[in-house]
Amino acid sequence: MRRPRFIDPFQPAEVRRLVGEFGSPLVILDCERVRVQFRKLRKALPGVDLHYALKPMPHPAVVQTVIEQGGYLDLATSGEVHLAQRLGVVPDRCIHTHPIKREQDIANALAFGVRLFVADNPDEVRKFARLSGEAELLLRVSFRAPGAVCDLSRKFGCDPEDVLPLARLAAGLGIGVRGLTFHVGSQTADATKHVEALTASAKLIAAARRERLGVLDTLDIGGGFPIDYAQPVQDIGRFCAPLRVAVAKLPTRVRVIAEPGRYIVGPSAIGVASVMGRARREGHWWYYLDDGLYGSYSGQLFDHARYPVEPLRDGEERLPSVLAGPTCDSIDVIAENLMLPPLKPGDLIVGRAMGAYTWASASEFNFFPKATVVAVNLRPGDTGSIAPWPP
Ligand SMILES: *Cc1c(COP(=O)(O)O)cnc(C)c1O
């Protein structure tokens, strides 16, 4: 029989095998699913270059898979710059998008070869005054998005009316202004805000071009593309439909790029935790897992996500149950009021859609180590290649 091109590491037998080999807790990262997500978004946004934002899952295997697919990177810290550098990524494929940088962060990115940076205020623009030949800027605009789960326009971005003055400042200092960037927020329900921001940015670009304030040939529409958690969302083709219309109306000389994070990695990983022990309290079975809110489930706090969780074991009988994390803190509870089959120590619990903002924001509170990330299907045609990480 022909061996399959890829294993499906989310199948129960594979999950058990990987836990047997690498221990628990695990985050199982499937690079084939990264490829599928990348291609789906590329199909939904034809002509838009996709810069994977490393922040939700800064794993080398994701970076390599995105690059292998012809993608680009959105780097925001010196750590992310060093990772891309260590992996031999061509610096032309990277932009640096943190609006606030130390001189050393700029120097590290420049030393790697990154040329395009983001600024959203006069002080930050002035940091590039001595680098006018080496670096160019995208100016970050803020369009408030009260509907988004995480409104990223609150902390960063200048008001639309400050764009032209900022561009004039940059032009006056001899700094090249390549265009504008925005990030309307993560896990947005529909593309309304993206379209509004894109349309408003296009007008600002046209105004800045009329004043000859720079090349202004780039519009970066940020991330925010949503995925299914416990609540399903619009499929990506439908979500992007109004965006495709808006992009098509732009002048052809404007290159559009996006910075997807969650959409690429969220569905591409599952979290696997083990029952450490159990207790019956007030009519409920409490199961204490080796991963929790201070670990891979940290996204339930920081990212307001609700991961679909289920035991790997099946059973007819269902009892009211609580899944709790391992730490001694009482807020460390993953899910309550679940109806689960009776579980024993060593039983495995799987959380779905746990690739984004999970392991990345986990801590080692109480000395419970972070989950090991195991990347599977690293190369196409390579059945079940595996790399645990950190090495
Ligand atoms: C976090 C972040 C992203 C990724 O956002 P997602 O909602 O995960 O797609 C993109 N761009 C910037 C500037 C970010 O800070």
Q: Domain map of the chain by residue range?
A: 12-27+267-389, 32-265
Alpha-carbon distance values, 249 to 41, 45, 197 (Å): 20, 14, 14
Q: How far is CA 91 from the centre of its chain?
A: 20
Q: Is 99 in the pocket of ligand 1 (CB under 6 A)?
A: no
Distance CA 205, CA 219 (A): 8
Is CATH 2.40.37.10 correct for 12-27+267-389? yes
Q: Which two tokens stand for residue 38?
A: 């990348």
pLDDT of residue 7: 86
**3-class SS at 384?**
coil
Which 3 state secondary structure label does DSSP give 235? coil
Ligand 1 centroid, distance to 275 Cα (angstroms)? 33
**Is the Cβ atom of 225 under 6 angstroms away from ligand 1?**
yes
Q: Are 254 and 202 in contact (CB under 8 A)?
A: yes
- Please give the pLDDT value at position 118: 98
Q: How many CB atoms lie within 10 A of CB 388?
A: 14
Task: Establish whether residue 58 lines the binding site of ligand 1, counting it when its CB lies within 6 angstroms of any ligand atom.
Answer: no
| 259 C-alpha to ligand 1 centroid (Å) | 6
Please indicate whether residue 311, judged by its CB atom, sits closer than 6 Å to ligand 1: no
Q: What is the CA radius of gyration of the chain?
A: 22
* Whole-number pLDDT of residue 223: 97
**pLDDT score for 257:** 98
The atom of ligand 1 lying closest to the CA of 266 is: 8
**Is-catalytic flag, 31?**
no
What is the CB-side half-sphere exposure of residue 205 using CA atoms within 13 A? Answer: 26
Q: So what's the pLDDT on residue 11?
A: 96
266 Cα–ligand 1 center, Å:
12
- Res 148: pLDDT: 55
Does ligand 1 have an atom closer than 6 angstroms to the CB of 186?
Answer: yes
Residue matched to tokens 């032209």: 164
pLDDT at 154: 76
Torsion angle in degrees (nearest 10) through CA of 221, 242, 151, 293? -100
Q: Is 1 exposed, middle or buried (0-12, 13-18, 19+ CB in 10 A)?
A: exposed
The residues, ordered by sequence, that sit 6+ positions from 87 with a Cβ below 8 Å of its Cβ are: 60, 63, 64, 67
Nearby residues of 270 by Cβ (< 8 Å), 6 or more positions away: 10, 15, 27, 28, 350, 351, 352, 353, 354
pLDDT value for 2: 58
Cβ pair 204, 220 in contact under 8 A:
no
Q: Separation of 191 CA from ligand 1 center, angstroms?
A: 15
- For residues 180 and 220, the answer to whether their CB atoms sit within 8 Å is yes
pLDDT of residue 382: 67
| Torsion 183-234-307-337 (CA) sign | positive
Quick check: CB of 156 below 6 Å from ligand 1? no
pLDDT, residue 4, reads 64
pTM of the predicted model as reported, rounded to 2 decimal places: 0.95
> Which residue stretches of 113-259 are H helix?
122-126, 163-172, 192-210, 236-248
Tokens at 71, concatenated = 């993608």
Q: Which residues of the chain have pLDDT under 50?
A: none
Annotation: CATH topology of 32-265: TIM Barrel (3.20.20)
The catalytically annotated residue of 31, 150, 158, 328 is 328
Mutate to test the pocket of ligand 1, among 41, 142, 183, 243 (most ligand atoms within 8 A of CB): 183
Confidence at residue 132, expressed as pLDDT on a 0 to 100 scale = 83
d(CA 207, ligand 1 centre) in Å = 27
